[in-house]
């Protein structure tokens, strides 16, 4: 699954339709592609996740009770940054996913036939 993090802050009054428009217009990705899209608010205290599951959209929000999300991709990334599932987990915990070491998503197996 592709995880795409939008580099700019978003007005959190936006719902599914508003965030889907950002996916199309600013990130140049179809919101119905099955990718998971992550957005943050201006104060860096809350995240919204948008995903299409084939039948409809899911919109989830995480708001920190204290503190801020310290890491966020810069605008130089062209609107979006790609993360692995492990890096997304670190981001959800208000950590910096660029400082962790994770194994590759896919590893070739040597299978004897």
What is the block-wise mean pLDDT of the chain (113 residues), using blocks of 10 residues? 93 97 95 96 96 97 94 77 90 88 71 68
Q: Tell me, what's the pLDDT at 3? A: 95
Which H or E element spans position 95? Answer: none
The bridge status of strand 3-9 relative to strand 36-40 is parallel
Q: Tell me, what's the pLDDT at 27? A: 93
Residue ranges covered by each domain of the chain: 3-99
CB atoms within 10 A of CB 41: 17
CA distances from 34 to 54, 74, 79, 98 (A): 8, 24, 18, 24
Q: Tell me, what's the pLDDT at 1? A: 82
Q: Do the beta carbons of residue 4 and residue 33 sit within 8 Å?
A: no
- Indicate if the alpha-carbon torsion angle 102, 69, 27, 50 is positive or negative: positive
Q: State the Cα–Cα distance between residues 85 and 57, nearest whole angstrom.
A: 19
Residue 20, SS3? Answer: helix
Q: Tell me, what's the pLDDT at 97? A: 87
């Amino acid at each position: 699954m592709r995880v795409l993090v939008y580099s700019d802050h978003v007005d959190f009054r936006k719902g599914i339709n508003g965030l889907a428009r950002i996916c199309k217009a600013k990130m140049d990705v179809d919101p119905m592609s099955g990718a998971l899209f992550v957005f943050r608010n201006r104060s860096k205290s809350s995240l919204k996740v948008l995903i299409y599951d084939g039948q409809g959209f899911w919109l989830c929000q995480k708001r920190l009770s204290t503190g801020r999300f310290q890491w966020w991709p810069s605008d130089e990334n062209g609107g979006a940054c790609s993360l692995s599932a492990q890096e997304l987990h670190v981001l959800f915990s208000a950590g910096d996913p660029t400082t962790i070491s994770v194994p590759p998503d896919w590893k070739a197996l040597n299978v004897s036939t």
